Amino acid sequence: MEKIVVLNSGGFDSIVLLHYYYYILGEKNLISLHFTHGEKNEREQLECAEKVCDKLNIPSKVIHLPSFDWTKGNFYNEKFIDAKSSYLEYRNLVFLAYGISFAQAIEASTVGLAILGGQESYIDCSPNFLYNVENISMMANIKIDTPFSCRSKESLGHIVKYLKIKRDEFFSCDHPINNKPCGECDDCKNIEKIYRNI
Ligand SMILES: [Zn+2]
């Protein structure tokens, strides 16, 4: 049976992806891999990443990375809530490199990540990027799986409903206030819309 290393940020997309794999494969074939890198919602996302593993009985590994302090974007800047200015240069290449190395070490066949349709404008979410990373990972027979890559965030609502994923199981806010979602950023608004419609 194939074993999948799932990149789990603790955010909405990752938590839905873990539930999706769990529903298809069961907990024995999954391992969660979470990264901290000094992000604004680091503590909340780590808590959610660990909580879902406890709930689904999935083993979890956490890697503490330094922050991307060379970034030109506003990812770490408390004042900015605009997601488009928060790009971290080639973040997914860094995360996938660790994921592929970890997968090879534990003899996993696949690294799964929650890239959605519509994110292609980011280089490290584009089909061409994923194709080329997989060219490297396939040298060790490790696939890159992105089952949501043709789906919108809103379309994940039916999985949320069917698998009864609760709002406190993930943390997606880019601009938390007192450790709580701000309700104003794009992520908060999208999540609100999804739960309103299910
Ligand atoms: Zn927010």
Tens digit of pLDDT for each residue in 79-93? Answer: 766 666 778 999 999
Q: What is the pLDDT of residue 83?
A: 66
- Give me the domains of the chain, ranges plus CATH numbers: 4-197 (3.40.50.620)
CA–CA dist 95, 5 (Å, integer): 12
CA of 1 to the centre of ligand 1 (A): 39
163 C-alpha to ligand 1 centroid (Å): 24
The pair of structure tokens assigned to 181 is: 């979602």
Mean pLDDT of 147-174: 95
What is the CA(47)–ligand 1 centre distance, in A? 17
- Segment 98-128, tens digit of pLDDT: 999 999 999 999 999 999 999 888 999 999 9
What is the per-residue pLDDT across 49-85, written as a single tens digit (0 to 9) for each? Answer: 999 999 999 999 999 999 999 999 888 887 766 666 7
The DSSP call for residue 143 is E
Distance CA(110)–CA(33), nearest Å, equals 12
Centre of ligand 1 from the C-alpha of residue 83, in Å: 10
Tell me the CA–centroid distance for residue 152 and ligand 1, in Å: 19
